[in-house]
Every structure is written in C-alpha cells, then in structure tokens.
Amino acid sequence: MTDRIVYLVTNSGMDGRAKEHIDFADYSESARDKWYEKLGKNRCYYSKTKRIVETIPATKQALARINGLDRLLLGIEMKPIDK
C-alpha cells in the first residue's frame, strides 16, 4: 500500500483567494506543528491540514516536473523516468 498521511501547512494569500501553495509538508504532525509555531504573528495566513497521498504516483509526477539541474541540486539520480 502506498497511501501515507501527510501533514501540511498551506497558504492561500492574505485574502484567501490566491491559488493554494503548500509551504511545508511532513509525515509527522509534531514536525508540522513545530514549523507552524515558528511563523510568529503572521500565522493567520496559513492553515494546518492533512491529506492522504498515494506516494508512488505522486513521486513519479514530481520527478516528471523537475529538470536536470533541479535533480542535480536535490541529489536525485539521473535515470529515465518510467511513464
């Protein structure tokens, strides 16, 4: 099974009308909460959420979107992507 719970901190802008942006993601709720507490008084623009993510398809999708330089900087092996 490839489903995992992911704890997120998301941001939709000051007025909430901007496209959702995921600022933080972790498999641990306590790590998410610790990061959220460091935001200080600007926290009101952020939301704590959780999602169930299918990790294998999400990983393939993420790898398909990044270029060779991004792969090098992230330390990802340069091999063909299975589609």
Mean pLDDT, rounded, for 52-64: 90
Q: How far apart are CA 51 and CA 58, in angstroms?
A: 13
Mean pLDDT, rounded, for 19-31: 94
Phi-psi region of 48 (alpha: psi -120 to 50; beta: other; left: phi over 0): beta
Amino acid letter for position 82? D
Q: Can you name the residues that pair with 50 across neighbouring β-strands?
A: 7
List the chain domain ranges. Answer: 3-74
The C-alpha angle 48, 21, 76, rounded to 5 degrees, equals 105
Q: How far apart are CA 59 and CA 57, in angstroms?
A: 5
| Span of 25-29, 31-35, 39-43, 50-54 with lowest mean pLDDT | 39-43
Q: Band of the pLDDT at 31, cuts 50, 70, 90?
A: very high
pLDDT at 48 over 60: yes
Nearest to 83 by CA among 66, 68, 63, 69: 63
pLDDT of residue 81: 58
Average pLDDT, the chain: 88
pLDDT of residue 53: 94
pLDDT of residue 18: 87
